[in-house]
Amino acid sequence: MDILTYPDDRLKQISAEVENLDDEILHFIRELEATRQQGPGAVGIAAPQVGVEKRIAIVDVSNTRKPCDNHGHMIMINPEISEWDGMVMGREGCLSVPDFTGNVIRAEKIKLNYLDEQGKAHEIESSGFEARAIQHELDHLDGLLFLDRLVSRRTDLFKRKVYK
Amino acid sequence: MKWSVLTLVGADQQGIVAAVSNILFEAGCQLAEASMMRLGGNFAIMLRVRHGTDQDIAALLAPVTRSMNLHLHLDEDVAAAVHHIEPDVHITVYGADRAGIVAQVTGVLAEAGLNIIDLETAVGGESDRPIYIMSIEGNAKLGIDKLASALQSLGDDIEVNLTPIDTLRG
């Protein structure tokens, strides 16, 4: 499938809940995953990025250059974040916003509910890079891009490692 | 049409950006990347502008450079249409102000393979005991470990923090 890129109005819509996990949806999820894997190093993708306004997102940070805590490959249907904790700044880019990255503040830890592709309910806690990826993808379901959350380079909330 | 790099510097005053950009817009020019900021009591503008090959940007902006007393400099854009280089490391430096901080730090970093993409510095603190603060984003061509160990060679009077930037692609 083709990735929509901003400015495309379809990226700014609020997506609808998935009501039935039927074959059509399962087929779409496989296509969405294939599309993510075509994107250069994309750790996630959300249905609205291919023009389907349904609350479906995929996140997988298990293969990043720098290893981080993760829940493996996650297919999230009707996901909802129930708790946010801490703030951390990080750099983000997006398949739907080529050739630009910017700094975004996200919650460091989140609690999240979602259904997997079998319809099984999950409640997980996620932190760090995975939590950032989840927040980034779930924003797409509400018509938000990381561009909506950009902060100046001067806003300095990087976590520091002191070498001296 | 061609791209040029335009630099404007003058005493800071309200309305510089609006005046400059409005003239360029009215003349059919188009702006791209820009960096504009107050430097001490000055205001400095650096921007890429696309304009007609026969358009004289200095003459076009003469009304505003004269009335606002701005110095203008125009260079041909030698690197048009390049993609962004993404930083993979962020370095902050601070300490009691003294001559040579920038030279020393950037010298060590250049040697260790850092390509600076963005650098900002400020002087703060009390006027009789100023401190110097520098923030650098760059691309570690020889790896971040090399930068980290190179920074250890710096004196104890400046604090240096290095943070890798792991860009998320979603």
Whether pLDDT at B82 is above 90 = no
ipTM field: 0.86
CB-based contact A102:A91 (threshold 8 Å): yes
The reply to whether B148 touches chain A by the CB within 8 Å rule is yes
Distance CA A124, CA A114 (A): 9
B 8-67: CB under 8 A from A: none
Tens of pLDDT, residue by residue over A32-56, are 999 999 988 899 999 999 999 999 9
**Interchain proximity A158–B163, CB inside 8 Å:** yes
Q: What is the mean pLDDT of residues B147-157?
A: 91
Class of residue A63 by CB neighbours under 10 A (exposed 0-12, middle 13-18, buried 19+): exposed
Tell me, what's the pLDDT at B81? 65
Q: What is the mean pLDDT of residues A94-112?
A: 95
Query: Hey, what CATH class is B89-164 in?
Result: alpha beta
SS3 of B34, please? Answer: strand
**Interchain proximity B163–A161, CB inside 8 Å:** yes
| CA distance to partner chain A, nearest, from residue B63 (Å) | 32
Q: Which chain B residue shows the shortest CA-CA distance from A3?
A: B170
Whether pLDDT at B144 is above 90 = yes
The reply to whether B83 touches chain A by the CB within 8 Å rule is yes
Q: What is the mean pLDDT of residues B44-54?
A: 96
Q: Chain A residues with CB inside 8 Å of B154's CB?
A: 164
Which DSSP string do the residues of A59-88 spell out, in sequence order? EE-TT-SS-----SEEEEEEEEEEEEEEEE
Tokens 């009215």 belong to B26
Number of C-beta neighbours around residue A146 at 10 A: 26
CATH topology agreement for domains B2-76 and B89-164: yes
Distance CA B160, CA A140 (A): 37
Class of residue B69 by CB neighbours under 10 A (exposed 0-12, middle 13-18, buried 19+): exposed
Tell me, what's the pLDDT at B53? 94
Cα torsion at A151, A39, A114, A23 (round to 10°)? 150
Tell me, what's the pLDDT at B85? 87
Q: Are strands A44-46 and B71-76 parallel, antiparallel or unpaired?
A: unpaired
Q: Which chain B residue shows the shortest CA-CA distance from A46?
A: B170
Tell me, what's the pLDDT at B96? 96
Q: What is the mean pLDDT of residues B159-170?
A: 93
- Mutation pick from A43, A66, A74, A91 vs chain B, by most beta carbons of B within 10 Å, is A91
**A2-24 core/surface letters (b: 16 or more CB in 10 A; e: else):** ebbeeeeeebeeebeebeebeee
Grade residue A30 by pLDDT with cuts at 50, 70 and 90: very high
SS3 of B83, please? Answer: coil
Q: Which chain A residue shows the shortest CA-CA distance from B148?
A: A163
Picking from A94, A129, A137, the nearest residue to B166 by CB comes out as: A129
**Interchain proximity B169–A156, CB inside 8 Å:** no
Length of chain B: 170
Least confident range from B56-60, B63-67, B137-141, B152-156: namely B152-156
| CA distance to partner chain B, nearest, from residue A58 (Å) | 10
Active site residue A137: yes
Distance CA A107, CA A129 (A): 10
Tens of pLDDT, residue by residue over A135-146, are 999 999 999 999
Positive or negative, the CA dihedral B93, B95, B97, B99 is negative
Task: Give whole-number Cα distances, A103 to A43, A90, B9, in Å.
Answer: 17, 5, 28
Q: What is the mean pLDDT of residues B99-123?
A: 96
Distance CA B63, CA B149 (A): 52
The overall average pLDDT reported for chain B is 94
Whether pLDDT at B80 is above 80 = no
Whether pLDDT at A157 is above 60 = no
Grade residue A4 by pLDDT with cuts at 50, 70 and 90: very high
Q: Chain B residues with CB inside 8 Å of A162's CB?
A: 161
Report the Cα B158 to chain-centroid distance in Å.
Answer: 22
Least confident range from B13-17, B51-55, B152-156: namely B152-156
What radius of gyration, in Å, describes the C-alpha atoms of chain A?
A: 15
Picking from B137, B154, B156, the nearest residue to A153 by CB comes out as: B137
Catalytic residue among A31, A83, A117, A137: A137
**Nearest to B116, CA basis, from B124, B125, B107:** B107
Grade residue A65 by pLDDT with cuts at 50, 70 and 90: confident
Least confident range from A63-67, A110-114, A145-149, B158-162: namely A63-67
Task: Give whole-number Cα distances, B82 to A102, B35, B89, B124, in Å.
Answer: 18, 17, 21, 35
Query: Hey, what CATH class is B2-76 in?
Result: alpha beta
Architecture in CATH for domain A9-159: Alpha-Beta Complex (3.90)
User: Domain map of chain B by residue range?
Assistant: 2-76, 89-164
**Interchain proximity B168–A92, CB inside 8 Å:** yes
Distance CA B168, CA A131 (A): 11
Whether pLDDT at A162 is above 50 = no
Tens of pLDDT, residue by residue over A66-101, are 899 999 999 999 999 999 999 999 999 999 999 999
Chain A interface with B: residues with Cβ < 8 Å: 39-46, 64-66, 90-95, 99-101, 129, 132-133, 136-137, 140, 146, 153-154, 156, 158-164
Q: What is the mean pLDDT of residues B24-40?
A: 96
User: Domain map of chain A by residue range?
Assistant: 9-159
Phi, psi of A112 (to 5 degrees): -140, 140
